[in-house]
Amino acid sequence: MGQYVAPIRDMQFVLHEFLNVEEELKAMPDYADVDADIINQVLEEGAKFTSEVLFPLNHSGDREGCHHDAATHAVTTPKGFKEAYKQYVAGGWAALACDPEYGGQGLPVVLNNSFYEMLNSSNQAWSMYPGLSHGAYECLKEHGTPEQKAVYLPKLVSGEWTGTMCLTESHCGTDLGMLRSKALPEADGSWTITGNKIFISAGEHDMAENILHLVLARVPDAPEGSKGISLFLVPKFLPNADGTLGARNPITCGAIEEKMGIHGNSTCQMNLDGAKGWIIGQPNKGLNAMFVFMNAARLGVGMQSLGLTEIAYQNALVYAKDRIQMRSLSGVKAPEQAADPIIVHPDVRRMLLTGKAYAEGARAFSSYVALQIDRELHHPDADVRKEAADEVALLTPVIKAFITDNAWIATSDAMQVFGGHGYISEWGMEQYVRDARINMIYEGTNTIQSLDLLGRKILGDNGAKLRKFGEKVKNFVEENGTDEAMSEFITPLGDLGDKVSKLTMEIGMKAFQNPDEVGAACVPYLRVVGHMIYSYLFAQMAKIALAKEDSGDTFYKSKLATARFYFGRLQPETATLIRQARSGAANLMALDADLF
């Protein structure tokens, strides 16, 4: 079923050479002792766990899926999943980036981010169980009461208990303002919650002894819409005062959704039949608290797609070097064989390089944002924290949408490299395509992310956050504009930066007259911004590689070739995207609905 080799060399390049994380972390007292040796050791051990324990379960888990017992409401995960989770907990992986106050190891988000790439490459469906738990940890840490933190956070940090987010209902989907689940107050300070939720990833399973559900519901007399939503902590088993498990709470799995992909993860329909819960934060302010979880999940979904891009590329590359078919157009390359390996063919190389470039771009991008999260949470300078927070807010929807869109492209191309074999399940490639497709949907569809970027994050503050990021791009262009060796990267970067500024202003002016202009332009607009970010990152990485091109390390030659491919073949799609974004709302909205 293929292979997985963690791309440690490229991870080390991004962390040590591109981001210079050791120096960055020294400015944060909580991370001042985290050096290159610690980082490299975590990467190496993470590579062993993911390649040896998780990857062998990926294909079998997809074929077997999860099983629901309607009589008991129990869910059984695929063979080996539960045992792998025990190894994960025993290895301390759940605690990697958690606060030592609650039993965590206190390592930075930027390192945890690299580990999660490995998890998702090796087995996305399995990785969703602990991934959602980390989001629940972040939400409770930020908004929980001292009592809630004391009871629940150590269990989440250790991995003994897992977490979920229970948002969606069948009638409302993304429009959470329409949800109907109800919460009634009790004399002891708890709440009784009734309702039905769908699409709840890891909603029920046999991997941990307890599951903590973070549930959105309405309290009595709540305002209509999203302003009347509250957030509740609803455990599967109610904890006793000493932390042991008590009574079974009536929040149960009614069915498992039959999905296109991620079959190894139990996506559940959850029924709350008077379940006992405790409010998190203030009544009617639940979305504010849940956004901590949702934003963590959006970053996590970007990492899922990076993982899939990498694993699909790796296996397509191995296949292309081994599979022989036809002869090279420029002459025989393997005369000792009946045909040449398909990697000699230009279009096969295009597909492989697309995966390579999108994986390396996503790795740099996600690591960059993860480092900004560390700065936002741990830097001693308030101005630095504020600047980092603004940048994370701006880039989060791009992380989610751009990386997941690119993974759909890259995994499809990787499957195509296999020809007909790519569509046969035993080769494993079609699973990556199926798994990648869902990432464009959940935790806010990519259209929602595009609306968030353009409408809220950019036009909402008159472009202030975007201008700050644009200044970084502009400064880099000016600093390197006279370097002839960098011109092939700097010229298209500078040109795209100017076009993004003009496009943003044009759409903003149109939106004053017609709000539909934002909805019409937002999806191509986000891809343009995504390419501007990747152009900025690839240009910086190319500068490092140019300086070391003659070092004898072929890694840098490969990095340069990938950057050149990106600027020559992928970035130019921005010309079409800009024309699409500028074309306006009229060609979308003119046709009456009954004429479709």
Question: What would the DSSP string read from start to end of 361-379?
Answer: HHHHHHHHHHHHHHHHHH-
Element (H, E) at 211: strand 210-217
Contact between 396 and 369 under an 8 Å Cβ cutoff? The reply is: yes
Torsion angle defined by CA atoms of residues 355, 359, 360 and 365, in that order, rounded to the nearest 10 degrees? 140
Residue 291's pLDDT is 74
Core vs surface per residue 396-430: b (16+ CB within 10 A) or e:
bbbbbbbbbbbbbbbbbbbbbbbeeebeeeebbbb
Coil, strand or helix at 212 = strand
β-pairing, 161-166 vs 210-217, is parallel
Rounded distance, CA 433 to CA 410, Å? 9
Rounded distance, CA 411 to CA 435, Å? 9
Rounded distance, CA 117 to CA 327, Å? 37
Which fold is adopted by the domain 162-283? Answer: Butyryl-CoA Dehydrogenase, subunit A; domain 2 (2.40.110)
Residue 261's pLDDT is 96
Looking up tokens 């306006």, which residue turns up? 584
pLDDT per position as a tens digit, 61-73: 999 999 999 999 9
Token output for 495: 């040109």
- Angstrom CA distances, 367 to 15, 16, 350, 395, 571, stand at 8, 11, 25, 12, 21
Beta-bridge partner residues of 267: 201
> Is 336 exposed, middle or buried, given 0-12, 13-18 or 19+ CB atoms closer than 10 A?
exposed
Looking up tokens 């059984």, which residue turns up? 76
Distance between start and end Cα atoms, the chain: 45
The residue annotated as part of the active site, out of 24, 117, 138, 443, is 443
Beta-bridge partner residues of 218: 182
Rounded distance, CA 2 to CA 430, Å? 12
Q: Is 64 a catalytic residue?
A: no
Residue 238's pLDDT is 97
Element (H, E) at 235: strand 230-235
Looking up tokens 């040896």, which residue turns up? 52
- Angstrom CA distances, 430 to 116, 118, 427, 434, 435, stand at 22, 20, 8, 6, 9
- Angstrom CA distances, 13 to 21, 39, 62, 367, 399, stand at 11, 12, 33, 11, 20
* CATH number, span 8-143: 1.10.540.10
Residues of the chain with pLDDT under 70: 1, 293
Amino acid identity, residue 345?
Answer: H
Provide CB contacts within 8 A for 232, sequence distance 6+.
Answer: 183, 191, 193, 214, 215, 216, 217, 277, 278, 279, 280, 286
Token output for 290: 């849940």
- Angstrom CA distances, 92 to 44, 104, 154, 241, 303, stand at 15, 9, 13, 25, 21
Coil, strand or helix at 184 = strand
- Of 373, 401, 362, 378, nearest in space to 110 by CA: 373
Contact between 232 and 280 under an 8 Å Cβ cutoff? The reply is: yes
pTM above 0.85, yes or no: yes
Residue 286's pLDDT is 86
Provide CB contacts within 8 A for 114, sequence distance 6+.
Answer: 11, 15, 42, 43, 46, 367
Residues in the chain: 596
Token output for 429: 């490639």
Rounded distance, CA 430 to CA 277, Å? 41
Provide CB contacts within 8 A for 508, sequence distance 6+.
Answer: 459, 462, 463
Token output for 510: 């149109």
Rounded distance, CA 51 to CA 122, Å? 6
- Angstrom CA distances, 410 to 102, 358, 437, 474, stand at 39, 7, 11, 30
Count CB-CB contacts under 10 A for residue 456: 13
Looking up tokens 């072929």, which residue turns up? 554
Rounded distance, CA 166 to CA 217, Å? 9
Q: Residue 567 carries which DSSP code?
A: I
Coil, strand or helix at 328 = coil
Q: What sign does the dihedral 524-528-534-537 (CA atoms) show?
A: negative
Contact between 216 and 181 under an 8 Å Cβ cutoff? The reply is: yes
Looking up tokens 């700050």, which residue turns up? 468
Q: Residue 53 carries which DSSP code?
A: I
Q: Residue 7 carries which DSSP code?
A: -
Looking up tokens 């390996």, which residue turns up? 341
